[in-house]
Every structure is written in C-alpha cells, then in structure tokens.
Structure 1
C-alpha cells in the first residue's frame, strides 16, 4: 500500500525515505526558478534542501515558474503534493529515496502579470533558469543571440505582455527599477558554455529591441554569473513512478531519478546576496570556463558521441551501450585521441581521471538513462558539445577522424532507420530539415554539411569534408559495427 506524497503524510513516508530536516512553514522565497524539470529538482533543489536541513538560509526558498503551456502539467502535479518531490539517488551499489521541499509555490504559466509582480518582490534576489540548451535563442553556427527569432521579435514589439522567459525577466527588472529596488541576479543552470554570458546577451539583446536605455541599465547593473552543473538525470515515465510506489511505498506524481554524483561550480558574483551553498558542496571559483569546457566536452560530448551509434544498433539504455565493446572502445579512443587533448587545463584536475569517472557513471545500470534522451535535440547539442572540439582541432591543423565520424553518425541516424531497418523516432525541432538533408547526403555528403546554421565554418574545412564523407560512405556501405571497428583499429579513412 502506498502513501500519497504531501506535507501531511511526511511522518509516514519517513519510514522508507529521508524527509526534509526542516519545517517547511518557516521557509520564505528568495529565488524564482524558470524551468522546473527533472534536472532542476535533482540538482539546484537538492543543494538547497541540504542547506535548509543544515538549519541555514531559510529565506532562500524557491518559487517555480514556467513559460510554456506544457509547464502547467508539471505545476499541477507538484501542487497536488505541496510542491514536494521524491528524488531517488542511484549508485552502482546503492539506491536511496529522499523527499525534498525547497519549492514553496509555482506560478501559473501564461500569467505574465502575476509572474512580473513576483519578480518585483524585494525578497527575490536570484532568478535562476533551466530552460534547456535550445531555450536561449542562439544561432547555432555563430553561437550568438538571434534577435530575429519570431518569439524574440514578438516580445520586442509587446514588451509589456512578454511571452518568453527573457521578456518576463526584463519586465521584472523594469518593475524593480521603478520601485527603486536593487536588481536580482540572473543565474543560468543550463549546459551551455558561458551560460551567464549567453543569458546576459539574450536579456540585453531583447531589451534593446524596445528600450535601449533599459538594455544599458541591465548591462551595467545586473549580474549574470557563469556556472557549470552536472548530474545525470533521466526522464520520468511509468517505470520510475512504479519503482517509487513499489520500493518506497510513495505515491508521487512525478518523481526524479538521478545518479549519486552531482557537481556545481559557480562564479561568486551575486550583488544581491546568495545562500551559503559552499557549505553543501558547491564550488565557488573566479572562472568557471575550465570546468565548463571539461564537463561539456567530455561528458556531454561523450553523450552525443555514443547516442547515434547506439541508436543505429537498436540499443535503448545508456549502460547497455557502454556494455557494447565497440561503443566503449570508440568513446575511449575519441576522448583520449581528439577531445581531451584540446581541453585547457582545469585547476587540480586530471582530465584522464575525469573521463574515467564519466565512464563509470555511464555504466551505472540503475539510472536507466536512455539513448533516445541523449539523441534528442541534436541540432542544439551538436554545435555546443561536439563541433567546438572539431573546430579547435582544425584550427591547430590536427586530424578529426573520430569527431567527423560523430557528425557522420548523426547524419546517418537522421536517415530514419537503424542498421536493422527499425524506424527511428526523432525528438528535434529541426527534424524535418535534418532528415531531408541526411537522405540527400547518402549520395552527396556535402548536403548535410550545407546546414550552415549548425556546422558554420567547420563545414568549410576540406579536411572535415573529406573525413565526414569517408565516414558517412563507410556507414552506408559497411554498417555501424564495421565502421566502428575500422575507426578503433585506426583504419577509417585510409
């Protein structure tokens, strides 16, 4: 028999799960967070839960916020359980459930007036974001903010009725400025290099469309610290809901599963104040960039590298992909030969050891992370996680056999069928044009590289063109397994 998750039932639930070590009624809001997805609830919210349980900083609770209509489903499910979440942390040798409670409210998506009013409250000192890599209106090829995106143009024309998260942030800052209040800090928690700088560009770029003076004020007065976040957090489905019910006797509408490992590195730039997160393991550093490069290229780049060969071989789970000797060897060679050598040094960190840790994490069967999750949204992820390494090697005059193979595997994946003939379901906003280009590329590899908004200047490299064509042709002629073998043996492209 299960117990429905709520504040009233925590006494029963503590028999099978750790519950918050603080009285939720004493919390008050200090943060508005946009993008209450699984990652946020397994990461930022967990750090704050640890902090509150230590008896500190109870005035830094979270109010959730959404922008998309789909955010209402999450709001409704969490509201039914007093905004509590069951987080199941799973290592190779242990599993444990905890109930976290740092979120005390969730603003209704689409209610701009109420959201702006909350942002203008003096107690709100941080606005944080996990809106995915694709939510920042970045031109993939240039890596810069795109002011011509229709959603941005619309907010620029109607700044008093914003529909984007950046429009809401600007409206909230305007309201604070009018009240004579100090601005809040804007803190991105997404996997984007220089995520604070990217957020700064988006907010100022949108503001400049309607109010250049406000854009200048934001530029001069609002802090956008860079940060690196890390915790593997798969999607929630019926399986996860069922495990929480059967193993922990908790009826949770939307639990979160994650690995035990977590990391958060932040630049300490919070003029309006911040919670004492360093006391619960957050690293505050002068420059996050080295840590970002390491994580995004080794872990996220590794995710992107194994996703497409695994999908072409009909492998569903990430740990099963790593158990395939060809994929494991492919990833090791790619990382050690081409990715790690172009990553700048990271303070007190051995990059080879970091990769070994990543490899151990990917082998974790309890996480049950899926290949479809890793394969989604490649049109945003490839330019951020793979192509920067490619560009760096080309700039050094170094070969890109493995990185070109990653791009070729992505192209082959978008032909729409696995090596066995099984249909592939895409999850990418650009899926239609990617598939059209991928099918043309079977006969003319340059057709895929013509996606200039994705490949940018990398596609102009004769060496990359040649290596990509060799890899793609081999994939079509010999299949994924044989192509991986040739790469591992150092014979691909000979």
Structure 2
C-alpha cells in the first residue's frame, strides 16, 4: 500500500498512526536537512506533542539546499509528507507513521522558496541537521572559515545564496526590513556548542556583505545550544523490505533504536512548542550533556568502527559481540575518556557507558560498521581528538586513543587485511588514501592533517604512540595489536 493520508485507516493494525487531525496543523518550524535523523528525532517528539492536543501551530515545513534534497521532497510529497518510522526493539519492530510535517519548500539553486518561507511571519524557528561537516568550521582553528569558496560566493552575491547560512541571512534581512522579529535558529547536529557554531556561521556569512547586519544578528538572533541523540541507520533495501512486511510501500522509511534524548537551552524569544511535555530536557547546562554524549557515544562509535571493520564485523552488534572489540571499547572508555567527563543529573559517566554498550549491542538495529566509519576526517576532530588533548594535558593514558587513530589511518589505506578493497568512505577519501600510503613508511605523515589533529599536532607523546601502533598494525594486524593493548 502506498503511504498517503487516505490510506491511514486501512493500515496494518500493528502500525501506530497520528493521534490527531493533521488538517489542524499549521507550520511554525522550517527544518533544513530532512534526513533520517530528523525524522526519527525532532519529528517524533513533535508527533508525540501533537497527539497530546498541544501546539498544533508548530508543525514542520521541510527544506533543503542541495540538489539531492529535491529527491527527498518528491518522495515525501507523494505520501502527503508522512514518514514511516520503525523502532528496532530487540523484542520486535514497532512501526509508526509520523505526521508532524505538513509541507516541504521547493528546492531551488538560489534558495528563493526557502528564503520566502523563513521570512514568513508564521516561521518562528529554523532548525538544522546539515551534518557535522556542514558548518564550514576550520578544524585547525576550531572557528568558522569565511574563506571557504561556498561562503565567499554568498558574500559576493547575498541576494542569490547557495548555502543554508546565506539563505538564513537573506531571510533575516527581509524580516528586519519588514519590521518582523527574527526567528530562532536551532541546530540539531552533533557538534560541540552547536548553537555558537551556528551563530558564527550565520553572522560570519553576513559579515562578508554587510558587517553592520552581522552585528545585528549577533545582538538579536537566538541560537540555542542543543544535544540530540538517537542511533538511526541509513535506509537501504533492508529497511524498505521491513516496511513492506507491514504492508507499506515507502521508498524512504526510517529505522531507529528505541532510545532517544534531546537536551535544549531554553532560548526561544518568539516562543516554542512545549517539548518538555514529551520528554525534552531544558537546561542551562547543555554542554555537560553534550560532552558526555559526544565523548562516550560518538567517540565510542569511532572506537568500535575501525577496529570492527578491520576484524571483519559488518554491524555494530557484531562488533560488540566480538570479545576483542567490546573489551577494547570498555578499556579505552574507562581509562581514557570517562576521566574527562562530568556527570549529569540523569547519569554518571560509568552508568552512561553501560547504557551505550547496550545500545550498540542491540541486535535489531543493524547499524552498519561502514556507516560508523564514514567521514572520519570530520568526525575524528570532534569525537576523538578532544579526549586525546585532555589526556595529554592532564597526564592520563592516551594509548588506546592513539591506537584508534592508527586504526583509522590503516582503514583509510583502502584495503582490508586480506587485500579486499575498501570502497571510498570519506569526502576526502583520495587524499586520505594517499596520505595513509605515505604513513605506512613515515607515520608522522598522517599527523600533518592540521584540520584533524589541531592542538595535539606536534605533541611528541602522541606522535610516538601513534607511530608505534601504526607500525604494529601493518606488521602484526589488527587482532594482535588490540590484544597487545588489552594486555597492557
């Protein structure tokens, strides 16, 4: 059955469906980046809120700034913007239909429809999931890069922006000129201080064409920090087949783990939906939650990813079932990451580690190791390098993290240990494979990546440890190397 509004009453009774009248919804949020994570996270929270009969003027209008976003728009428009979300519980899948989205802006190279929708007085929040690498951060400095070609293009032609940040600047200017208050800009990406990072990107883009307006943005626009969490695998034929088991013909279903978490700063001058009614935590201490999640969970994903890949694991639960990988994760987390993480009201660091070990081991999720290995050049500096930097500053162990970095380098060499080719898995894959080949003979070559290693580049303790592990990986393989680490 094709998914659409008229089919909802005829769905398999095992499928939950919107418990509210969707015709009563009006959009108050424009969300840019309609990937799986947004539809399994923010859209689900809003769906739960609407089911309580609350805040029906906060529905979502989807948006995108890349040509492929048009394909998602076509797919969702064909099913009245409904999404299939299947929670992968070990006891069995739990499908539901999410109805929180009511529209999707046409995707245009110059972003005219998006700018118009953001400038609409009904839009009070613009939210983003544009990936960790989509904020134009110079990893060497940790700050916004105004010299990036995309940003320079928006600075030269602000009336025809190509980036989401240029589009936000154009919409904010229209609102200011019309005497309308600015919308709140809410990042939902896994970036430390994502609100501040987004503010820097928006104001930094504006500064290239109108420095005074950039100052106005910094003084008047709210950019709340947030922490978001839910493991959400990529959609492939297996996920579409699972939807078909429930009688659904949906080309873009979403699968996800049962767990979800959202922590927000309460900084919404134009109002917000009452998300605390459906489990969202509002706090002034988002950074503590963020540090715990990024270091332990996202860092943990990297730890099991490259070790698991080189040991032949296909899925995250396979890696957790491998005695070496699970022991490696536990030792690195306990000795090298947890000492630099503070507790939050809900969790101590050890309790949070136990939680994520269980989540990684969920056999129903089938999160691929390849997905976890994706885009290391953007993820390593955010999820692994900060823990190494803390260990170097405080004199605590960094051997396991140095091994993780060496495993990433070995993976980027482009072949598994049996010689099988690894398909490109990073936006910078060609450069990484060339660098990894050089590093086989000269390990220090890998550490010349200022954008990745930043402040720890040139640290002799880390460089010596990295070189020792990389040499061992090439001479003895991943299994023997991890065994050596575990044996001290």
User: Is this a same-fold pair by TM over 0.5?
Assistant: yes
TM-score (ref. length: structure 2)? 0.99
Q: Following the alignment from structure 2 to structure 1, what is the Cα–Cα distance between the partners of residues 64 and 43?
A: 16
Change beyond 3 A, Cα 1:354–1:226? same
Q: CA deviation at 1:208?
A: 0.4
Report the alpha carbon displacement of residue 397 of structure 1 after superposing the two structures with TM: 2.3
Residue aligning to 2:120 = 121
Counterpart Cα distance in 1 of 2:483 and 2:114: 54
TM-score for the superposition, normalised by structure 1: 0.97
Provide the C-alpha distance between the structure 2 equivalents of 1:83 and 1:59, rounded to a whole number of angstroms. Answer: 16
Provide the residue aligned with 2:35 in structure 1: 37
Q: Residue 421 of structure 2: which of 407, 419, 423 is its match?
A: 423
Cα distance in 1 between the residues matched to 2:112 and 2:319: 47
Cα distance in 1 between the residues matched to 2:302 and 2:371? 10
Separation in structure 1 between the aligned mates of residue 441 and residue 114 of structure 2, nearest angstrom: 51
Q: Deviation at 1:349? A: 2.0
Distance 1:6 1:314 in 2: 41
Classify the secondary structure of the residue corresponding to 1:358. helix
User: Residue 208 of structure 1 contacts residue 215 of structure 1 at CA under 8 Å; is this kept in 2?
Assistant: yes
Match for residue 450 of structure 1?
448
What displacement does 1:177 show?
0.4
**Which position in structure 2 is the counterpart of 1:392?**
390
Query: Could you say which residue in structure 2 is the equivalent of 1:159?
Result: 158
Specify the SS of the correspondent of 1:63.
strand
> Which structure 2 residues correspond to residues 263-302 of structure 1 after superposition, within 5 A?
263-302=261-300
Count of residue pairs the alignment pairs up = 487
Q: Deviations for 1:24-71, whole angstroms, at most 9, x for unmatched residues?
A: 111001000000000000000000000001100000000000000011
Q: CA RMSD in A?
A: 0.9
1:132 corresponds in structure 2 to 131
**Quick check: 447-456 or 38-47, which moved more?**
447-456
- Cα shift readout 1:391-421 (whole Å, capped 9, x = no counterpart): 0111112231011001000000011111121
Mapped partners of 2:455, 2:55: distance in 1: 48
- Deviation of 1:433 (Å): 1.2
Q: Which residue in 2 is equivalent to 1:319? A: 317
Q: Which moved more, 1:18-27 or 1:453-462?
A: 453-462
Match of 2:107 among 103, 106, 109: 109
SS in 1 for 2:94: strand
Matches within 5 A, 1:92-491: 92-110=90-108, 112-246=111-245, 248-490=246-488
Q: Match of 1:19?
A: 17
**Unaligned stretches of 5+ residues in structure 1:** none
1:418 alignment partner, SS class: coil
**Aligned counterparts of 2:89 and 2:34: Cα–Cα separation in 1:** 24
Measure the CA separation in 1 of the matches of 2:241 and 2:174. Answer: 45
C-alpha distance in 2, partners of 1:378/1:337? 23
Question: How far does residue 286 in structure 1 lie from its aligned partner after superposition?
Answer: 1.1
Secondary structure, counterpart of 1:210 in structure 2 = coil
Q: Distance in 1 between matches of 2:214 and 2:453?
A: 31
Between the aligned partners of 2:443 and 2:106, the Cα distance in structure 1 is 47
Residue range with higher mean Cα deviation, 188-197 or 398-407: 398-407
Unaligned runs of 5+ in 2: none
- For residues 331 and 395 of structure 2, what CA distance do their matches in structure 1 show? 19
* Distance (Å, rounded) in 2 between the aligned partners of 1:427 and 1:61: 35
SS in 1 for 2:143: coil
Write out per-residue CA displacement over residues 275-297 of structure 1, whole angstroms, 9 at most, x where no aligned residue.
Answer: 00000000000120000000000
- Quote the offset at 1:90 in angstroms: 1.3
Deviates more, 1:42-51 or 1:433-442: 433-442
Stretch moving more, 44-53 or 392-401: 392-401
